[in-house]
């Protein structure tokens, strides 16, 4: 009789104490969802599993190490060659939104394939130039397509995730290797601006949309590591990182997250002090228009 009573109480205990090892076991066996929230990653080869091939790796593969997997599990949906536009057209944001559950986080980071021109030949990835509601008409693969701007794609994707009860990180892209000349030097691209603009226009931190100035943090650690170390870890070209640099890129994202105000940043297992006292360098301050 008493064991039957205990069984009836198990699900209730699981809900009341989600972090006890007992409750985690219950969540795996009985609960409709895992106790851990998922951090979904949407991006290109610089984030993807296997990077750009030929021994390179994407930074998304290293993010899990900065989170306790009992609380947050990383799911990397990044894929090489994609832009905010092609990730949208191919239904990849939709596919992630299908999986998103309330309490999850989604990181969106594009920029490496979003530039270029739609004419004379549209590669299917280039966004319409601009920061607002501009549209461009094109024919790609024989199909007429209305192309949006990068911030418009970011906002459209973020809204899908917000609607599912997730919080969203609209991240700036990593730069290409800023040390390839032998001297490390960085300046922001328009995508650094577009990414925080999109986050701000959705309502920013108050609306559950955060920005990580990943480009700026990545440039800071590359400069601190120095050209020799950085160059040795871009084995094939100036875009795709070897495993060492991919881990560095993940760390610079983690520092940017940690230095911001999101609950996900507070959940990073590494202290701000431990990150700041490494090559990653200090938190970078931003004015109030940047929703970090």
* Interface positions with ligand NAG (CB under 6 A): 65-66, 251, 254, 269-270, 275, 286-287, 289-290
Q: Which is nearer to ligand NAG, 146 or 287 (CB)?
A: 287
Q: Which is nearer to ligand NAG, 42 or 246 (CB)?
A: 246
Active site residue 45: yes
130 DSSP assignment? S
Q: Which is nearer to ligand NAG, 92 or 286 (CB)?
A: 286
Within 10 A of 269 (CB to CB), how many other CB atoms are there?
12
Cβ-proximal residue to ligand NAG, closest one: 251
Distance CA 5, CA 10 (A): 9
Terminal-to-terminal C-alpha distance of the chain:
54
* Bridge partner list, 42: 108
| DSSP-assigned letters across all residues of 15-65 | HH-TTSHHHHHHHHHTSSS-SSEEEEEEE-TTTSTTTTSTT---GGGGGGG
Active site residue 238: no
To the nearest whole angstrom, how small is the minimum distance from the Cβ of residue 127 to ligand NAG? 20
- Of 94, 163, 228, 237, which one is the catalytic site residue? 237
To the nearest whole angstrom, how small is the minimum distance from the Cβ of residue 167 to ligand NAG? 20
To the nearest whole angstrom, how small is the minimum distance from the Cβ of residue 284 to ligand NAG? 9
Active site residue 40: no
What distances in angstroms separate CA 259 from CA 220, 229, 292, one per listed residue?
14, 25, 8
- Of 171, 240, 252, 262, which one is the catalytic site residue? 240
To the nearest whole angstrom, how small is the minimum distance from the Cβ of residue 245 to ligand NAG? 13
Distance CA 173, CA 217 (A): 10
- Of 40, 44, 45, 112, which one is the catalytic site residue? 45
Distance CA 126, CA 239 (A): 17
**Catalytic residue ranges:** 45, 237, 240
């Amino acid at each position: 009789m008493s064991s039957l009573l205990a069984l009836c109480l198990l699900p209730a205990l699981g809900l009341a104490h989600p972090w006890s090892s007992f409750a985690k076991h219950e969540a795996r066996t009985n609960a409709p969802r895992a106790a851990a929230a998922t951090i979904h990653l949407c991006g290109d080869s610089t984030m993807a599993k296997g990077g750009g091939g030929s021994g390179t790796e994407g930074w998304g593969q290293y993010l899990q190490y900065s989170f306790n997997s009992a609380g947050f599990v990383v799911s990397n949906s990044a894929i090489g060659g994609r832009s905010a536009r092609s990730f949208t057209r191919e239904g990849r944001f939709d596919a992630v939104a299908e999986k998103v559950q309330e309490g999850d986080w989604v990181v969106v980071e594009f920029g490496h394939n979003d530039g270029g021109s739609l004419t004379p030949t549209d590669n299917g990835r280039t966004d319409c130039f601009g920061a607002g509601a501009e549209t461009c008409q094109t024919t790609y693969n024989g199909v007429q397509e209305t192309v949006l701007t990068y911030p418009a794609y970011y906002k459209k994707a973020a809204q899908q995730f917000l609607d599912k009860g997730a919080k969203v990180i609209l991240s700036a892209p990593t730069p290409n290797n800023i040390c390839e000349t032998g001297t490390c030097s960085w300046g922001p691209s328009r995508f650094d601006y577009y990414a925080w603009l999109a986050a701000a226009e959705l309502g920013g931190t108050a609306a559950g949309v955060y920005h990580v100035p990943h480009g700026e943090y990545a440039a800071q650690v590359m400069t601190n590591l120095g050209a020799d170390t950085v160059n040795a870890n871009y084995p094939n070209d100036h875009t795709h990182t070897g495993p060492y640099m991919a881990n560095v890129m993940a760390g610079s994202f983690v520092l940017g997250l940690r230095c911001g105000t999101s609950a996900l940043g507070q959940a990073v297992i590494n202290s701000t002090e431990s990150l700041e006292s490494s090559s990653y360098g200090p938190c970078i301050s931003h004015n109030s228009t940047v929703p970090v």
